Structure 1
C-alpha cells in the first residue's frame, strides 16, 4: 500500500474538525437534558477522560510493526479472527457516525433553512460532495482541514461572543450539580464517547514522518476540541438558561439567529451557514474515508478509493432508516453516545494490554 506523509498541523486539524462538528447538532440540548445546569460538568469530565482513547491507540500502534495503523496493529496483536472482530467494531463506529451525522445535518437544512427542498436531495448533495473529498485521499483532506480550521474556529468564537453580548443570564449555572451529583458524574463518564472520533488518530499518526511528533498532534487535537465543546456548552447555558435550553433543536444555529451586533448588523446566521456546511462535509468525508480504509485493510486491498462509492450508497440507505429527525437524534444519543466509549476506550486499552503481555512473553 502506498503511503504519503502528513504533518502535525494536518493531523491535528483533521482530528479537531472530526470531533467539534457535533456542536452544530443538538449536542448542547442533549447535555442539558442529562445534566441540567451542570451540563458543562459532563463535558468537562468527558474532556478529562479523552486522553484514555489516545493512550490506548498509541499503545496499540507501538505494539505493532513499524508503519502499522490501528487496524493492522490490532490484527497483529489479536490474530486474524479475533482481530477482525475488533476491527469490525471500529468500522461499525465510524459507519454509525457517518450516516447519523448525514441524516441530522440534512434534517437541519430541511427544517430550518431549505424548507421546500426534499430530504433525499439534501442527503445526496452532502453525501456526493463528501465522497468526492474522501476520494481525493487523506493528504488532500489534511490540507483542506488546515486551510479551513481557522475559519471554523473563528465563526464559533464570533457566535459565542455575539450570543453573550446579546443576552446572558447571571445565575445560569445554579444549582451547581444540576440534576444531581451522582447522575452528572455518571453521565460525564458515559459521555466520554463524545470524543470517540479520536480513533481517527490511529489512521493518521502512522503517516507522520517522525514518531516523536505523534503526541504533539494528539494533544493539540484534544486540547482545542475540549475547549470548543466546553465553551459552546457553558455559553449556551448562559444565553439560553435551563429549562428553556432543553427545548431548542439546534442550539448553535438558534444562538446565531439572536445575535445583534448593533443596529445595522443583525441576522448573521447566513454568514456562518457556509462555514458550518463546509465543516459537515469535511466530517462526513473523514468518516467515509475511515470506513473505507478500515475495510480495505481488513480485506488487504492495495487501495482505499474503490470502496468509497459502494460504501456511500450503503450509507445513504442507512441514513433513510430513522423515521424522523428525532429518531435520528435518539440513535445518536442512545446508541452512539452511550455505548461508543466501549469501542473507542475499552477496545484500544484491551488491545494495548494484550500486546504488552504478548511482547513480554516473547522476550527471552
Structure 2
C-alpha cells in the first residue's frame, strides 16, 4: 500500500472542512452577491445538499471497493482504459484547481499585506512547507489539522462577536424579494467549493474507524455550510450593497472592527489564522495529487512526486492565472460548470455501473446453482 499511516474520521473531516472553507469565505460573498443579492447567505444550502450526495456516493463505492480510491476502483468498474481516462481527467482538473487555490493565496497576501514581495516568493514558501507536510504522510497531516482547525473556528467566532456592533439588520431585507431563483443562481458559484468533498475518497482507505467515515464527512459539510452562511451574512450585514464591489468582502468587513478605539486593526490576526487554513488547503491538494498520480501510474511510493508537484504548481499558477479578471472568468465558466459536473456525475456513474455489474454477477451465480 502506498500509504502506511492512519488517521481518524474526525481528522479527515477537519482536513476537508479547512481545505474548503479557507478560500470560500473570502471570495464567495462577492461572486454570490452579484446573482443572489441580499439572499446570498442562503445560496450555499443547495451546494451543501450536492456535497452530502457526493459523500454518500463515495462512501458506498468505498464499501464495494475497500482500500482503494476513485483512481483505482474506476479501472475495476469500467475497465483499464476507461478507468485510466477517468483518473486522468480528475487529476488534471484537481491540478487546475490546486493552481488556482495557490494563486488565490498569493493574490490575497500580496494585495492586503505584502504588496512589494514578488509573488513567486509568496507562492514558493507556502508550497514548500505544504510539500513537507505531505512528505511526512497522512498522519502528520491529520495531527496538523488537529492543531490548526480549532484555530480557524476560533477566528470565525471572534470575527462574529467583534463585528456585532457594526451589524445592520436592515441590510438583509427584503428576504426572498425575487423568489428562489436568485438563490439557485448564487449557488452556481458555491457548488465547486462544496463539491471538493470528493477528496474524501483519497482518505477513506486510511481511516482507523471507517464506520464513522460517512458521519464525519457529512458533519464537515454541515460545519462548512454554517460557516459559509454565517460569513456571507456578516459581510452583507456590515457592508450592505457594497458587498459585491470587494474582492474579499470579509476582510473589508474586519476592517470595521473598532472596540472603544482600542481593539482595532485586527487584519494581521485574521491573516495569521487564514494562512494556517491555506496551509491545510494546499497540503490536502498536494496529497491528493501525489497519491492519485502514484495510484494512476501504479507506483510503490508517492513521496518522490510531492516536491515536483509543488514546484509545478507554483510555475503553472503564475502562468495560468495572470490577474483577478482571469480568475473571475475561470470561476464563472470552467470552475462552476466543469467542476460540479465531474465531481458529481463521475461517482454517480461509477456507482450505477458497479451495481449493474454486481447484479449480473448475482444472476450468473443463481443460474449456476440452478
Question: Would you say same fold, with TM above 0.5?
Answer: yes
| Match of residue 199 from structure 2 | 200
Q: Is the 8 A contact 1:23 1:232 kept in 2?
A: no
**C-alpha separation between the residues in 1 aligned to 2:298 and 2:25?**
36
Q: Is the 8 A contact 1:190 1:341 kept in 2?
A: no
- Are 1:274 and 2:272 counterparts? yes
Q: Is the 8 A contact 1:63 1:352 kept in 2?
A: no
SS at match of 1:258: coil
**C-alpha separation between the residues in 1 aligned to 2:177 and 2:109?**
32
| Match of residue 149 from structure 1 | 149
**C-alpha separation between the residues in 2 aligned to 1:138 and 1:33?**
39
| Match of residue 230 from structure 1 | 229
- Are 1:219 and 2:218 counterparts? yes
| Match of residue 119 from structure 1 | 119
Q: Deviations over 1:287-339 (max 9, x none)?
A: 01101111100101111111112212221121112221332243234322332
* Offset at residue 74 of structure 1 (A): 1.8
Distance 1:45 1:125, change over 3 A: same
| Match of residue 163 from structure 1 | 163
| Superposed counterparts of 1:1-364, under 5 Å | 1=1, 2-64=3-65, 66-165=66-165, 167-177=166-176, 181-188=180-187, 191-242=190-241, 244-321=242-319, 322-363=321-362, 364=365
* Offset at residue 193 of structure 1 (A): 2.1
* Offset at residue 127 of structure 1 (A): 1.5
Quick check: 310-319 or 135-144, which moved more?
310-319
**C-alpha separation between the residues in 1 aligned to 2:186 and 2:122?**
33
Distance 1:318 1:25, change over 3 A: farther
Q: How many residues of Structure 1 are paired with residues of Structure 2 in the alignment?
A: 361
SS at match of 2:240: coil
Distance 1:34 1:169, change over 3 A: same
Q: Under a length normalisation based on structure 2, what TM-score does the superposition of the two structures give?
A: 0.92
**C-alpha separation between the residues in 2 aligned to 1:21 and 1:69?**
25
**C-alpha separation between the residues in 1 aligned to 2:142 and 2:8?**
9
Unaligned runs of 5+ in 2: 366-370
Quick check: 180-189 or 110-119, which moved more?
180-189
Q: Is the 8 A contact 1:96 1:336 kept in 2?
A: no
Q: Is the 8 A contact 2:127 2:311 kept in 1?
A: no
Q: Is the 8 A contact 1:49 1:189 kept in 2?
A: no
* Offset at residue 225 of structure 1 (A): 1.2
